[in-house]
Structure 1
Amino acid sequence: MIGVNTACRRSITFRFGKLSLANLESDTYDFPIWKVRRFAVNIDKAKAALADVKSAEGHLADRIAQCPPWRHAAFGVVLAILIGSISISTDAQIVGSVIALALVALLVRHDLKRYGVFVNGYRKGATLPIAILYVGVLIVLVSGAMYLRVNHLSITSKLGFAAIAFALATAVSVKWNNVYRKELGGGTQ
């Protein structure tokens, strides 16, 4: 905490808890007023700067949060491949995992090239509960896929389960994107 000695406005006392840095070195630090005047805050400039920040967030929302439908479907395809391959066999799971990772790398590369950023789904903010909920859904989907594999159910049921994974992943991607746009505060809904 920085405290200002009221007896002399040019004196500043630095305090950290019970230990006072000023007591260790000297009672006060003679801070030249001419250095402070240069950094004096103008309220109008501060309000204008905050308005610029809001405007930049709006432009960011319009630029990177406008996710095309194919992008949501691509997320669904990645998860459908992963869940479908888990339900088939260990060999298919290995191949499916490699394909899913390659597709994720392509999506990240696309986002970096087109938007200049890649937004991680597990970021802090209003989108985190959606991501955590989806992790729970993924645990259920992987468990279901393992059940299908262990009990040697038909390929039709495994493909149907992968289609369910696709639909859920696509829906979660759309919902996550809508919440992200609201959080940025400027994107069109």
Structure 2
Amino acid sequence: MTRNEDAQRMLAEIDAANADLAQRAKAPTWYHSALGLLIGGLIAVQGLPLPLVAAFYTAYVVGLVLLVRAYKRHTGLWINGYRAGRTRWVAIGLAALSILCGLIAVWLQRERGLALAPPIFGAIVALIVTIGGFVWEAAFRADLRAR
């Protein structure tokens, strides 16, 4: 076998491993919606009394732990959402949009008296994060193909 053939074989093995990883890393269909509901819920509860907000925060943490466990059980691995590559920009963009929506919702509720602002913006963020999860997966697959 020549050096060129050997190098081509190794590159083909890398491509096959990346394709396998891209398939394995696909989250369950419901995963992104569940994450979106959790993050949207963080915003939606901001107008509620403090004990209810604290109760939701506890449920939020438990929900995140359960999501990570479900993802690991389904895929056999865990991938940091802020890993280097296209995925980092998707994750940072989602975080920035979520924070911005949360700040606007709280401002509208406290300064303008719009009590429905947190639930409305929470629903918007839930939708954005759900769609963003699928965008993140597509970015992850693109990162694997680019290497």
TM-score, normalised by the number of residues in structure 1 = 0.67
Is the partner of 1:91 in helix, strand or coil?
A: helix
Displacement of 1:161 = 2.1
Partner in structure 1 of residue 19 of structure 2:
58
- For the pair 1:96 / 2:56, whether they are aligned, the reply is yes
- Paired positions, count: 144
Tell me the residue number matched to 1:119: 79
Could you tell me how far 1:135 is from its partner in structure 2?
2.1
Q: Deviation digits for residues 64-113 of structure 1, max 9, x if unmatched?
A: 13x34311111111112211122323323222221111111111111111
Label 1:68 to 1:180 Cα distance change in 2 as closer, same or farther (>3 A).
Answer: same
Measure, in 2, the Cα distance between the counterparts of 1:95 and 1:161.
20
Amino acid in the other structure paired with 1:79? I
- Show structure 2 runs of 5+ residues with no match: none
Identity of aligned residues (%): 26
Cα distance in structure 1, aligned partners of 2:16 and 2:43: 41
Instruction: Report the residue type matching 1:45 in the other structure.
Output: D
Q: AA paired with 2:29?
A: P
Equivalence map 1:1-189=2 (5 Å): 42-65=3-26, 67-151=27-111, 152-154=113-115, 156-185=116-145
Query: Which is richer in helix?
Result: 2
Q: Is the 2:33–2:130 Cα contact (8 Å) retained in structure 1?
A: yes
TM-score using structure 2 length:
0.84
Check conservation: 1:58, 1:184, Cα contact below 8 A: yes
| Partner amino acid, structure 2, of 1:117 | L
Say which SS state the counterpart of residue 81 (structure 2) adopts. Answer: coil
**Alpha carbons 2:40, 2:122 under 8 Å: kept:** yes
Instruction: Kindly indicate which of the two structures has a greater share of residues assigned to strand.
Output: 1
- Where structure 1 has 5 or more consecutive residues not aligned to the other structure, the ranges are 1-40
Q: RMSD over aligned Cα, in angstroms? A: 2.2
Distance across 1 between alignment mates of 2:49 and 2:128: 22
